[in-house]
Structure 1
Amino acid sequence: MTASSNPTRVALVTGASGGIGRAVAQRLAADGQAVVAAYAGNAAPAEQLVAEITAAGGQALAAGGDVSDPAVAAALFDTAEQRFGGLDVVVHAAGIMPLPTPLAEFAWEQVERVIRVNTLGTLAIAQQSVRRLRAGGALITFSSSVLALAFPGYAPYAASKGAVEAITPILARELRGRDVTVNTVAPGPTATPLFLDGKDEATIARLARQAPLERLGEPGDIAEVVSFLAGPARWVNGQLLRANGGIA
């Protein structure tokens, strides 16, 4: 494929096959951005998302791979540049959340997987972003309000996301003079398969009541925040935004 001469802003969204990532891809496409919908293993939901975006008049393509592999992360950027001419927005929504388990009971292989996917995956995507985003661009990563809530059972997950928060202001400063912003969104309890998996109705209802708004977040709530950071929010940089309805 040859690079497009279309001046439309171009976004790469990882984790786009479901949950928050899917909602973000849909929202950015509705905002007029061309979207590269990245998925880890299941191509069908990503291809369906691309079909929906293109049917609505947007531009999109799907691309797969494990983004904790730096070579795969680089290949996603190559794909975006070859198809659309470059990248303006990167939203790294891919991640995993294991079932809540006391640290003493975690299998070490599971701890390593959480760190690899959530932390190393973010670093791999961030490295390509700081090298290759165009002027006026935005890198948006994801943490979690679990860090502020300090729920028992989430130690490896919180550790993996704490690292994401730590690098955000550093990257913003490393990009001095480039006109590229770096921010992190920390959703609270959000009604996605990742969050709901393994929780009974009583637990879900209890979590929904904790926020002053007395409901779980919806993927569209988070996509709205990302849309702001990906477009008009040029004076928000190096920040952590908790999108959690006031739960923490």
Structure 2
Amino acid sequence: MTQRTAVITGATSERGIGMAVAERYARDGWGVVILDLDGARTAEVAQRIGSEHGVPAFGAACDVADEQAVTQAHAAVAAEVDAGHLPTIGAVVNIAGITSPVPFLETDLALWNKVMAVNATGTYLVTKAFLPAMLEAGWGRVITMSSVSAQRGGGVFGKVPYSAAKAAILGFTKALAREIASSGVTINSITPGAVDTNIRVGNTNPEIEARIAADIPLGRVATTDEISGVIAFLSSDDASYLQGANIDINGGSHMH
């Protein structure tokens, strides 16, 4: 699969979903682009993943909520592709996001705007930047990261702004999927439940963890590899007939 490159946002956190996804793409032979806030960190992670798996990799600083930053990151990636250092872009995975446990009446407009900007606006900006090349190629995969919080109305970490932003991503995905349906590019979403990532560190305790596990029929939270495996499937030719679909990855904690 070295003929294609996957662009992953929010992929520099140890034990994070984004890093697991980048690792999975590299193991499957894709080129990898990592976009995150810290340019030095993205370069470091990209260099390690590329070296370990023998694939081309590139990292660039990018605040996904900032249009100029996304434009600059896209230009840097396009230059790498044009120079032959990276294969053509074949997938974009929008993982970068933030949450807030603040109750609604304590949520000010600044916090609301920030959560919406990183999650929903970031997904819009990054997708818009990288979609044209895939449309021109007639093949591509866009994968958006929603959350079970969008379906259930919040959770341990996801209060009103987070749930609203993640619900917006579901609507964005379906509408864009319908618009580009005949292009050869698919766009689908995933809605993970609780996942074993670093976001939990300092935000839970054994009592909360036990309550979370008890609310999941499978009796445990997901691993990041379980999330990346679904994303790998959505990026494959086997998923060519999925358009505007959402895949729940929640251990049965929410069933339609």
TM-score, normalized by the shorter chain, greater than 0.5: yes
Once the two structures are TM-superposed, the CA of residue 128 in structure 1 deviates from its matched residue by 1.7
RMSD (CA atoms): 1.9
Q: Does 1:241 align with 2:247?
A: yes
- Any gaps of 5 or more consecutive residues in structure 1? 1-5
TM-score, structure 2 normalization: 0.88
Deviation of 1:123 (Å): 1.0
Which letter maps to 1:246? G
Partner of residue 11, structure 2:
16
Distance in 1 (CA, whole Å) between partners of 2:42 and 2:60 is 12
1:170-222 deviation per Cα after TM superposition (whole angstroms, max 9, x unaligned): 11122133100000111100011224442222112211222221111111110
Superimposed CA distance per residue, residues 114-170 of structure 1 (whole angstroms, 9 cap, x where no aligned partner): 011111111101212332223221000100001222236610100111110001111
Alpha-carbon distance in structure 1 between the residues aligned to 2:117 and 2:202: 21
Structure-2 separation of matches of 1:130 and 1:56: 26
- Counterpart CA distance in 2 for 1:103 and 1:233 is 38
Q: Pick from 207, 213, 220: which aligns with 2:212?
A: 207
Q: 1:139 — aligned with what?
A: 142
What is the SS of the residue equivalent to 2:251?
Answer: coil
Task: State the identity %.
Answer: 31
User: In 1, are the aligned partners of 2:49 and 2:57 still within 8 Å (CA)?
Assistant: no
Separation in 2, partners of 1:42, 1:29: 20
**Matching of residues 6-85 of structure 1 within 5 Å:** 8-18=3-13, 19-41=16-38, 43-44=40-41, 47-83=44-80, 84-85=86-87
Deviation at 1:107, TM superposition (A): 2.9
Query: What CA distance in whole angstroms lies between the structure 2 residues aligned with 1:161 and 1:68?
Result: 15
Q: Is the 8 A contact 1:39 1:46 kept in 2?
A: no
Which of 222, 226, 231 lines up with 1:221 in the alignment? Answer: 226
For structure 2, list consecutive stretches of 5 or more residues without a partner in the other structure: 81-85
Partner SS, residue 181 of structure 2: coil
Contact 1:9 1:87 in 2 (8 A): yes
Q: Size of the alignment, in residue pairs? A: 242
Q: 1:45 to 1:79 in 2, by over 3 A?
A: closer
Q: Trace 1:103-142 onto structure 2 (pairs within 5 A).
A: 103-133=104-134, 134-142=137-145
**Aligned AA for 2:109?**
W
Q: Secondary structure at the match of 2:111?
A: helix
- Asked if the contact 1:136–1:179 (Cα under 8 Å) also holds between the matched residues in 2, the reply is yes
Distance 1:197 1:117, change over 3 A: farther
Distance in 2 (CA, whole Å) between partners of 1:46 and 1:69 is: 20
Aligned counterparts of 1:90 and 1:50: Cα–Cα separation in 2: 19
Q: Using a 3 Å threshold, how does the CA distance of structure 1 residues 245 and 50 change in structure 2: closer, same or farther?
A: farther
